[in-house]
Homo-oligomer: A and B are copies of this chain.
Amino acid sequence: MLTREADYAIRALLRLAQLEGDRVLSTTRLAEEMLIPYRFLRRLTLKLEEHGFVESARGKHGGLRLARPAEAISLLDVIQLMHPESVAFNQCLVDEASCARSPECTVRRTIADIQAEVHHQLAGVTMATLAAVPKEE
């Protein structure tokens, strides 16, 4: 399950992907448009900036823009940044030492295969993909 934080991050980045040129959008408007709690978004965008997903302009008429092409930001990227565990399918696939069983155990291998497939799919959807969908949102 996506956390709200990851969900909000995806929606915020999607909106920024829709901006033209090097326009910026303020966090205030971003929060309003995407129905995200303002203060939550503020904290969240700091992390996005820290990790090179967005750039910010301070002061009046400041705001945010993507720091890299929308094609270069996948759902997997965002989720792994915001909440790595939500794309891990079992504890042992995050922390090997957390499980006393064999690393080759049937359950682990089976779950790992499914996880790999999901990661592949999540990596295939980028902010450009989402932004290209005729908007209904």
Q: Which A residues contact B (CB, under 8 angstroms)? A: 1-2, 4, 7, 10-11, 14, 35, 75, 85-86, 88-91, 94, 100-102, 104-107, 110-111, 114, 117-118, 121-122, 125, 129-130, 133, 135-137
Contact = CB atoms under 8 A, between A and B. Distances in A.
Given A114-B118, A118-B118, A130-B107, A91 B7 contact: yes
A10 B110 CA distance: 12
Given A35-B100, A111-B2, A121-B114, A106 B91 contact: no
A16 to B, nearest CB: 14
A121 B117 contact: yes
A100 B130 CA distance: 19
Contacts of A125: 110, 114
